[in-house]
Amino acid sequence: MAYDLLSRLRSFIRAEAVLMIAAVAALASCAIYPLTPATAPTYAGYIDLRTIALLFCLMTVVAGFGRAGALDRVRTWLMGRTASARRLALLLINVVFATSMLVTNDVALITFVPLALALFMDASPRTVIAVVVSLTVAANLGSLCTPIGNPQNIYLVSAYQMDMAAFFRTVAPLGIASYICCIALVALVPDERLQETASTHETTCNARLLSLYGLLFGICIACVARLIRWEPCCIAVVAACLAFDRRVFSNVDYSLLATFVCFFIFVGNLGQAPAVAQLLSSAIAGREILVSALASQVISNVPAAIMLSGFTDNAQALLVGTNIGGLGTPVASLASLISLRIYAAMPHAQTKRYLLWFAIVNVSLLAVLLGCSLVVAPYVL
């Protein structure tokens, strides 16, 4: 029994490595500013409730779209449109790039990477790897284009109270360059013929749930745009789901919410040490894009956004840096780890070869987009 418990604990730590790191960092930071009944209100003030609530609402609504069958319909539509490997890869890249803007990069990859592996089942290993790597890049870059495309965008828009005009003005040049890079990746996919794959069953949508989550999605967007407050938004989502689809709550990524809370505490406690805060602020000032992109390579872009936001007022530069920072190492974006796990689980996976391709493509694009951003930044930000 003890061995079984230890095995489960190890599995949990491996699966939730980022959460574990965040929890350890939060606990360690308590040495700077210990948690006591007197300091408890300060700790509570560290946590950005609007970000947590909005992230919870969006994750719930996206999970609801999946339960309503909307994503399955897209998958079925794609299953009947196979041609050459390169043409199909181009179609998938466009779909993933666009989808990640609305349902986040991780959901886009969870949905379409297994589909890609099914469609390219009989293709060469090189083709499969090139397609999965390209889709991963498309999800990470497509998600930067909207305030709800990934968790760090949701957080930064909320934390800095960024208006939508400023957001889109900041990401538009990067989004255009990113799309061009994604389309260019099609050249890496060998132009081989694939066997036609017909859909084995006709998927259906639950019209009632689809309408419900469409309405709730609109409410969430209004909250992101600050047309309504986060409290009624959260109440509306929770009440509607309790009334019509309670099981959706089991599909929410609560570990991501816990990771946010831990990093809020960590950053808040660092701010209680004036010397540390001053050192970090000085190191970041004027280098927000570069520092945040490099920090993302080690701790991933979501924690990097939370940590660095406590020491700079340059929201636009941090937005650019953490989004570009999703490229590079596999841990730079948690969504990239999803693709890696899905690919590694398939029969005859060539994981080392995949990691090599991933590194070459991601590091190259990171260098290109980072260089472009540093050149353009003085004129745009």
**Contact yes or no for 95/74 (Cβ under 8 A):** yes
In this predicted structure, what is the pLDDT of residue 300?
Answer: 82
Q: What was the pLDDT predicted at 338?
A: 79
- Number of Cβ within 10 Å of residue 245's Cβ equals 19
Please tell me the number of Cα atoms within 13 Å of 65 on its side-chain side: 21
d(CA 251, CA 261): 19
How big is the CA angle at 152 (ends 149 and 158), to the nearest 5 degrees?
A: 95
Task: Determine the pLDDT at residue 270.
Answer: 77
pLDDT per position as a tens digit, 112-125: 888 888 788 778 89
Is there a contact between 56 and 257 (Cβ–Cβ < 8 Å)? yes
**In angstroms, what CA-CA distances link 224 with 158, 161, 202, 235, 378?**
8, 10, 35, 15, 27
Count other C-beta atoms under 10 Å from residue 312's C-beta. Answer: 19
Q: List, in sequence order, the alpha helices (H) in the chain.
A: 2-15, 17-29, 40-46, 49-68, 70-79, 85-103, 105-119, 125-142, 151-159, 164-184, 207-224, 230-244, 254-270, 274-284, 288-299, 301-309, 315-324, 334-344, 351-380
Per-residue confidence (pLDDT) for residue 101, from 0 to 100: 93
How many other CB atoms are there within 10 angstroms of residue 209's CB atom?
18
Phi, psi angles (nearest 5°) of residue 173: -60, -40
Question: What does the block give as tokens for 32?
Answer: 């700077």
pLDDT by residue for the chain (381 residues), tens digit each? 666 677 777 777 766 766 787 788 889 888 888 889 889 899 988 888 888 888 899 889 878 887 887 766 766 666 565 567 888 899 899 999 999 998 788 888 887 888 888 788 778 899 999 999 999 999 999 999 999 899 899 999 988 999 899 999 999 999 999 999 999 999 999 888 776 554 445 567 788 888 999 999 899 888 887 888 999 999 999 999 999 999 999 988 888 788 878 888 887 887 787 776 677 778 788 889 999 999 899 878 888 898 888 888 899 999 999 999 999 998 888 788 878 878 887 888 898 999 999 999 999 999 999 998 888 776 666
- Report the SS3 class of residue 130: helix
Residue 223 Cα distances to 63, 226, 247, 334, angstroms: 18, 5, 24, 25
Q: How far apart are CA 86 and CA 139, in angstroms?
A: 18
Closest CA to 138 of 202, 188, 210: 188
Task: Give me the residue label for tokens 């003085």.
Answer: 378
Q: What is the pLDDT of residue 133?
A: 96
- Confidence at residue 3, expressed as pLDDT on a 0 to 100 scale: 61
Extract the tokens encoding 85.
Answer: 């490997």
Cα R_g (the chain), whole angstroms: 21
d(CA 358, CA 244): 42
Q: Provide the β-strand partners of residue 84.
A: 193
